Amino acid sequence: MLVAGPTGSGKTSSSYAPLQEVSGPAVNTVTIEDPVEYALPHATQIGINPKMGVTFGSGLRTVLRQDANVIFVGEMRDQESFAISVRAPLSGHFVVSTLHASDTVSALTALRNRDLDRQVLADALQLLISQHLVQSQVALGVAGGAVLGAVLLFALVQAHVMHPVVRERMPGTMELAGTVLRGLGQQHPGAGAVEAGPKAR
């Protein structure tokens, strides 16, 4: 699961939403961040410290040896962290990370420019989200807020389908998604319509 967006758009906050749901005493969850921004119960959180030799790459190698179920990489910065993060899901790890990019197309372009194996990338990447902050003076409205909530919920639905850890920790996700959409359609006809075409996100 990869969350893309410009600086300050809330990528880490969005990443922590599913982490808080799937993390628990029975799930080995590890985060690697620079710096650690949120306290996550039942998780091992590692802060990057290059002076001590702790980088995203070295942290990822250590975490994989510990056989973590869920891994959050605060940001994929160098070739090593890109390569390890993309290959980790192939061995059963649920990996969440962020990437500086203006939209999903730019994020995919950035991944391809890292000389990653396209077949490995296609197998590993199950969900790509792009987000931007809405200016405070723009009123989102009830219908807009409902649509935004539905979009975030379907991100979790995709993760639910994708990984057994998510299915185990959130067994009612699919039913909840159906309930939300039915309610959205009844209260705000047309609010759930999604724009089709290359500009749709």
Q: Whole-angstrom Cα distance, residue 187 to residue 121?
A: 40
Q: Whole-angstrom Cα distance, residue 90 to residue 127?
A: 14
Distances (CA, A) of 7 to 11, 131, 133: 8, 11, 10
The dihedral over CA atoms of 96, 97, 98, 99, expressed in degrees to the nearest 10, equals: -130
Over residues 81-95, the mean pLDDT reads 90
Which tens digit of pLDDT belongs to each residue from 139-183? 545 445 545 555 555 555 555 455 565 556 555 555 655 555 555
Which tens digit of pLDDT belongs to each residue from 37-56? 999 999 999 999 988 988 88
Number of helices followed by number of strands (H, E) in the chain: 8, 6
CB atoms within 10 A of CB 92: 11
Which tens digit of pLDDT belongs to each residue from 104-144? 888 888 888 888 888 898 889 988 888 887 765 445 454 45
**CA 12 from centre of chain:** 9
